[in-house]
Amino acid sequence: MRISIVGGGIAGLTSALSLHAAGFEPRVYEAARTIEAVGVGINLLPHAVRELAELGLADGLDAIALRPRRLSYHDRDGSPVWEEPLGVDAGYRWPQYSVHRGRLHLLLLAAARERLGPDSIRTGLRFQRFEQTAGGVRAHFLDRASGTPVTEDSDLLVGSDGIDSAVRAQLHPQEGPSHWNGVHMWRGVAPYPHILGGRSIVVAGGSPGDKFVAYPIEDPATEGGDALMNWVLETRHIPSAAPLDRSSRLVPLPEARAGLAGWNLPWIDLPTLIGNSSAIFEYPMLDRDPLPRWSFARVTLLGDAAHPMFPMGMNGGSQSVVDARVLAWCLAREHDPVAALRRYDELRRPTVNAIVLSNRNLGPEQIIARAAEHGGPLPAGQSEAIANDYRELTEATVSQVNSHPSWTVARHKADRVR
């Protein structure tokens, strides 16, 4: 079965690897002319790491990523309000990873090219539209280098082309623009010593727009040197009638210093962190309303194209990895590909839609928001209950991750599906 995947990001490449492992013939179409190691930090939670490990990527991940050991919430003055272990320290059979997004992207790209063949990842092709026939899908692209149209036929089409998905726009033409909550994120990476004992993900502040996050994504190159620290500062902007700037604006150093001047966290030297940053970029915090449907006959959505969410609880990328694995599993177990996409929709959409709405309500970061209102750590058991409820919602408790049946399918089963 030939499957066209629109979008060569983390979701699209994980989909290609999963579908290939199940015996299908995926091909990825990416609008960018080249795929490069861009971006900042990302966290992969144990439920996603399990799926990537089952794709044979465990050693590769361990070589490029760090295993954070704890999540530490602090108030705006830097005092602790809640802490919990992460990954194997919390009892998972698989670790959690903090990693540079670009390095993860290139790891997936190299694996896809090696396993699927170099011609399976085509770049510089901007998706235009699709049309369905009784037995397949015809996708139309624009070759960005030559300006000529390109047409590709396949049995299925998967839209994994991000929050501004053109595939989603064709499936849901009345949806409108993405939703902005008024918060911008300033993001950067900088050489800096480990903080709070090292291998910690630290979140300080309260509600969105008044929060600082830092965690290491690479250990020092030499003993006693600096780690590579990923950091995020959230700032709230006054609503304006002007169009929202979504250009990943480069934040000038004086502006970044001024934005952090109101913070005084005793365990990190913020002026030094800012000064060490190679570049600082601004991103609006965006999501979209949950959809009532992802799959339409032989076309479906996956990853941020299906469920873009606010970055609470570190779940966006991880849920995209799970999407990819479930999609391949459904296609391998159903003889009718239309029924398989419908089953994938039924298995994934309700869960991830609930996460989107939970993240709008701060997800597990309700802990620091309520602590700010309370004036200190919450009464005994409340923080733990919030964290546990969120893990249950995301199907990522220790027992759920460690014991659920594998989404891996034998190739001979997939071979029977046409």
pLDDT in tens, 266-306: 999 999 999 999 999 999 999 999 999 999 999 999 999 99
Instruction: Choose between 415 and 153: higher pLDDT.
Output: 153
**What kind and span of H or E run contains 58?**
helix 58-64
What pLDDT was estimated at residue 213?
97
Q: How many residues belong to the chain?
A: 418
**Residues linked to residue 229 through DSSP beta bridges, in sequence order:** 190, 216
- The answer as to whether 59 is a domain residue is no
Q: What is the pTM of this model?
A: 0.94
- The CATH number assigned to the domain holding 407 equals 3.50.50.60
Nearest alpha carbon to residue 85 among 96, 98, 73, 69: 69
pLDDT in tens, 2-54: 999 999 999 999 999 999 999 999 999 999 988 877 778 999 999 999 999 99
- The answer as to whether 48 is a domain residue is yes
What are the backbone dihedrals phi and psi of residue 375, each rounded to the nearest 5 degrees, phi first? 85, 20
Helices (H), 95-138: 101-116
**What kind and span of H or E run contains 141?**
strand 137-143
Amino acid, single-letter form, for residue 133: T
- The answer as to whether 195 is a domain residue is no
- The answer as to whether 318 is a domain residue is yes
What pLDDT was estimated at residue 239?
63
pLDDT at 106 over 70: yes
Q: How confident is the model at residue 241 (pLDDT cuts 50, 70, 90)?
A: low
pLDDT in tens, 180-233: 999 999 999 999 999 998 899 999 998 888 999 999 999 987 777 899 999 999
For residues 371 and 386, the answer to whether their CB atoms sit within 8 Å is: no
pLDDT in tens, 244-266: 877 789 999 999 999 998 899 99
Nearest alpha carbon to residue 321 among 306, 339, 336, 310: 306
**What kind and span of H or E run contains 402?**
helix 398-403
Query: β-strands 41-44, 227-236: how paired?
Result: unpaired
Q: How confident is the model at residue 118 (pLDDT cuts 50, 70, 90)?
A: confident
- The answer as to whether 331 is a domain residue is yes
- The answer as to whether 30 is a domain residue is yes
Kindly state the average pLDDT of the residues 355-375: 95
- The answer as to whether 268 is a domain residue is no
pLDDT in tens, 312-357: 999 999 999 999 999 999 999 999 999 999 999 999 999 999 999 9
pLDDT at 418 over 50: no
Kindly state the average pLDDT of the residues 108-127: 96
Tokens (6 digits) for 36: 């490069």
Q: Per the structure, how many domains does the chain have? A: 1
- The answer as to whether 194 is a domain residue is no
pLDDT in tens, 405-417: 999 987 655 554 4
Strand, helix or coil at 78?
coil
Cα–Cα distance measured from residue 258 to residue 180, given in angstroms and rounded to the nearest whole number: 24
**How is the chain split among helix, strand and coil, in percent rounded to 5?**
35, 25, 40
Parent domain of 166: 2-52+100-177+288-365+400-415
